[in-house]
Chains A and B, each alone.
Chain A
């Protein structure tokens, strides 16, 4: 099977509130898949449900041919998944370096940890200078770098990213996406990415899904979705 991740008729949400209503998506090995949709459509909730941070009501999540629906988040990370949440995605009371160390908590080996940290510092040179600063004291953009860097520490086979470029300067955002693509190519990782800039996301992605009110409203290659006139109306127009 070429599939690294698949959800089957997944229902998820918070407490008693069902937000995700029967979503079936998949990500192939080495693929970049974009998840787009209007605000509040449940993109973040879908990622959280997949990762086991939000509640699963029904359905299945399959990762690497293994049913991981009810596997807790820490074990998912050990299996080779990674997640950059949209909010609360750093440890504010830890320094930048400690944030990265926690990202590599499962590496155990000190040498591997240092290596991974070097990789991250090379992607975000700014972080090297900030490494003894508390993450809570960083700017929004710097924090985003820490958040992404933390998730990269374990070099996950599949990375779920919730708006990793939000709040970054356009140039930095594009650079980050470029670098992510480089890493992806080097490590043959797969990426499921939620992006505000739907056009940008779909352009770099192999495929895309459009989520509306917790359901998949459209899917296809990035080009297909971008060229569908009805979806342009729905939300893409905003970002031009």
Chain B
């Protein structure tokens, strides 16, 4: 088969743009996961559901409005609020009680899977029960800002995702390295008893952490659904990607963002090339992120792109 040069060129540009969008979203999502892991040491599988719930909230709220800027802002606020609240609730009801009982990291991981199950399947159940649409998208137009060669285009979602991801990553990095509260978060993670002795209210810090992480997830959920319809399993389907980005980034904020973008680009661009030249189904492209995750965990469990040291290796 002859491959048209223009198709390849604009296809490449298009997949680069989409990869950047998707990657920024993975990175953004990974920031919240990273925050939770850094402060509470929980590899939180329920995190995906905060994203999904937020997307649904944005849909519900924006559908009640006429669209436009109001709907955009209302949807965004609703998504972040629902993400934050879902996140805080899951800690208060499940993780904090377990942590008080001295649960180890694996128990907390299993618990987070349990929380994820409860959240995901109750949303699915409720959606089926009440005949909600299974694919939702906020009632906000995604304007095309520029078209390149008729095949590739830049939309509002592209800009929003990239900007949000970069701003959040920089914000989180500043929070952790420059502010009193952020340092208290790190202190709480490093030595909770001494943090209390130093006058830090670690419960307040913990609540703040979960709220913030949930809000980040909510923001990502909104932006994702702004671009792509969301279903009750969307978050879960992206979770391993999010973990891949966070782990590749060594659980640092800039690392997570960069890794997310790399994964997104790899998925989109390699998917495009594989289907164009090798006729390999694009259904394989998600496997790229998973393989990256497994390889990173096996050969560089401390992360590939990182700014600080975190030991994920076994202590033997």
Contacts and interface: CB of A to CB of B under 8 A. Distances in A.
Direct contact of A and B (CB under 8 A): yes
B186 A78 contact: no
Interface of A: 51, 53, 72-74, 77-78, 83, 85, 88-94, 98, 101-103, 105-106, 108, 150, 154
B187 A102 contact: yes
Nearest to A79: B199
A90 B202 CA distance: 16
Given A88-B191, A91-B191, A92-B191, A72 B186 contact: no
Contacts of B201: 74
Contact of B191 (A51, A83, A90, A103): A90
B197 A85 contact: yes
The B interface is mostly helix, strand or loop, or mixed, namely helix
B186 A93 contact: yes
A78 to B, nearest CB: 6
Contacts of B195: 91, 102
Contacts of A78: 199
Contacts of B194: 85, 88-91, 150
B131 interface: no
21 contacts: A51-B197, A53-B193, A53-B197, A73-B196, A74-B198, A74-B199, A74-B202, A78-B199, A88-B193, A89-B194, A90-B194, A91-B186, A91-B187, A91-B191, A91-B195, A92-B191, A93-B190, A94-B190, A105-B180, A105-B198, A150-B198
B180 A101 contact: yes
Contacts of B197: 51, 53, 73-74, 77, 83, 85
B200 A102 contact: yes
B298 to A, nearest CB: 25
Contacts of B196: 53, 72-74
B191 to A, nearest CB: 5
B189 interface: yes
B199 A154 contact: yes
Contacts of A90: 191, 194
Given A73-B196, A74-B196, A83-B197, A105 B191 contact: no
Contacts of B184: 102, 105
Contacts of B189: 93
Interface string B166-202: 0000000000000010011011011101111111111
B40 to A, nearest CB: 14
Given A53-B196, A77-B198, A105-B199, 16 more contacts: A51-B197, A74-B196, A74-B198, A88-B191, A91-B186, A91-B190, A91-B195, A92-B191, A93-B190, A94-B183, A94-B186, A94-B190, A102-B200, A105-B184, A106-B198, A154-B199
B199 to A, nearest CB: 4
Nearest to B38: A93
A78 B196 CA distance: 11
A105 B200 contact: yes
B101 to A, nearest CB: 12
A73 to B, nearest CB: 4
Given A94-B183, A98-B183, A103 B190 contact: no
Contacts of A83: 197
Nearest to A48: B193
A90 B189 CA distance: 12
A114 to B, nearest CB: 13
A154 B184 CA distance: 16
